[in-house]
Amino acid sequence: MSPRYDVPKAAPEPLREVQQFVNSVDLEHELDWLPDWLDERGLGGALERARSLREALRALALANNGAAVDQPALELVNSAAARLPLQLGPDGQLRVGEGRDALDAVVAIALGAMLDGSWPRLKACRNCCWSFYDYSPNRSATWCSMQLCGNRKKTRAYRSRRRREA
């Protein structure tokens, strides 16, 4: 079974690569596509490093959605970022250079998004932790999908209120 990348809130390229990496696991159904993701990129032996990085990036995406910043996740991403060369572009903008492998490339894309201001729009759903891109004008989206997680959350709240009233 393939990842459900058909979410209507797909990030624009190149941030889409980070979103696909973070979404290489379906926590709700306990399906992990990370080994396939790594094999496609020739990194079959980097599973533990990749899992740690994936969860650290997910934690930072959750922080974009109002959760507290996870310090160990921040330290892990900073450690991964330290492997990357930083360059000053001709326009005076700081750029992140190419990494050594696909995991470095994901970190480079995430850092580039942080530099260009698009990173805060990559969020993780408060309900299912699926990564999505917030296209709302005021950056207020909190769920991967109103039809799925938004509906579930609102239905739970409604039922909880009804039980209290009864």
C-alpha angle with apex 33: 133 to 18, nearest 5 degrees?
Answer: 30
Higher pLDDT, 153 or 31: 31
Q: How many CB atoms lie within 10 A of CB 166?
A: 5
Q: Which of 57-61, 86-90, 133-137 has the highest mean pLDDT?
A: 57-61
Q: In percent, how much of the chain has pLDDT > 90?
A: 58
Give the pLDDT mean for 52-73: 97
Among 50-54, 78-82, 114-118, 149-153, the least confident range = 149-153
Nearest to 80 by CA among 113, 52, 107, 119: 107
Tell which residue, 95, 77, 103, has the closest CA to residue 18.
Answer: 103
Rounded to an integer, the average pLDDT of 141-150 is 73
Strand partners, 35: none
Three-point CA angle 59, 62, 66, nearest 5°: 135
- For the chain, the domains span 15-165
The answer to whether the peptide bond before residue 12 is cis (omega within 30 degrees of 0) is no
Helices 71-81 and 102-116: crossing angle, nearest 10°? 110
Place of tokens 């991964």: 80
pLDDT class of 44 with cuts at 50, 70, 90? confident
**Band of the pLDDT at 147, cuts 50, 70, 90?**
low
The answer, yes or no, to whether residue 136 has pLDDT greater than 60, is yes
Determine the pLDDT at residue 1: 45
The CATH code that applies to domain 15-165 is 1.10.3300
Q: Determine which of 19-28, 79-88, 102-111, 155-164 has the lowest per-residue pLDDT on average.
A: 155-164
DSSP state, residue 121: G
How far, in Å, CA of 136 to CA of 85, rounded? Answer: 33
Q: Which residue has the higher pLDDT, 98 or 140?
A: 140
Whole-prediction pTM = 0.85
